[in-house]
Amino acid sequence: MTALPFFSPVAADGAAGLLAALGIGVAFGWSLERAGLGSARKLAAQFYLTDLAVFRVMFTAIVTAALGVFWLSWLGVLDLAQVYVPPTFLLPQAVGGIVFGAGMVAGGLCPGTGCVAAATGRKDGAAVVAGMLAGVFVFSEVFPLVRRFYERTPRGALTFPALLNLPYGVVLFALVALALGGFAGADRVERRARRLAAGGG
């Protein structure tokens, strides 16, 4: 019998799920703060290529989670069938990504880092969280009007192994290689960007 996940998405034990989510959320927030991502300047530096900490932190989280899911499942500790994969809706999610990106550029923070910034007393973080909650409220209110668009181009619960018809291990190896290559390249990119910035005055 597998020990994970802590709660089943098909079973009615919501309290356990919420508790697990709270614990993971706090740990994630703590990690983001430790990496300095509670500052909008840090996130802005990502786009000027002078500080790629966001890339490093997020890709590290992705690779750690992917390796953990694969190996825990391989060892029989985690039941992959019980892990929820959000369904893909191509067009509405592309539009949602643009809206998300616009909000991130305007606020300098994403939802997770916005919460971290707010929790550490930054006013811009509190403003981002307030805007996020307002957006959730407005979206909920107008959902009946946008529902048809929201449900367009459904592609089901897509995963890379299924989409590319490749073994899980090959996709994981490619992801790890991409991350390690990216980490190695990030240092060079930062040095070059700083040199250019310094040279440009």
Partner 1 sequence: MMPIPRISRKHALAGCAGVLGVLALVAGEPNRGTGATVDVDRLAAIVQAEQDHVTALELAQWIRDWKPGLRVIDVRGADDFAAYHLPTAENFSVTQLTRARFRADETVVLYSEGGTHAAQGWFFLRAKGLERVFFLREGLYEWATQIVEPRLPDDASPQAKARWPEQAALSRYFGGSPRVGGTAQTVDDPTAALPRASHDDAGGELPRPASGEASASTAAVARIRARGC
Backbone angles phi, psi at 154, to 5 degrees: -75, 140
Helix 111-119 vs helix 14-34: crossing angle, to nearest 10 = 80
In whole angstroms, what is the distance from residue 97 CA to residue 91 CA?
Answer: 10
For position 76 contacting partner 1 by CB under 8 A, the verdict is yes
Q: Mapping DSSP to helix (H, G, I), strand (E, B) and coil, where does residue 156 land?
A: strand
Q: Do residues 172 and 67 make contact, with C-beta atoms less than 8 angstroms apart?
A: yes
Measured from the CB of residue 171, what is the shortest distance to partner 1 in angstroms? 9
Closest to 81 (Cα-Cα) out of 163, 151, 157, 172 = 157
For position 190 contacting partner 1 by CB under 8 A, the verdict is no
Of 6, 30, 47, 74, the one binding partner 1 by CB under 8 A? 74
For position 4 contacting partner 1 by CB under 8 A, the verdict is no
Measured from the CB of residue 180, what is the shortest distance to partner 1 in angstroms? 6
By C-beta, is 30 or 71 nearer to partner 1? 71
Helix 168-199 vs helix 53-74: crossing angle, to nearest 10 = 170
For position 180 contacting partner 1 by CB under 8 A, the verdict is yes
Of 71, 84, 137, 139, the one binding partner 1 by CB under 8 A? 71
Per CB under 8 A, residues contacting partner 1 are 2, 63-64, 67, 69-71, 73-74, 76, 78-82, 167-170, 172-173, 175-177, 179-180, 183
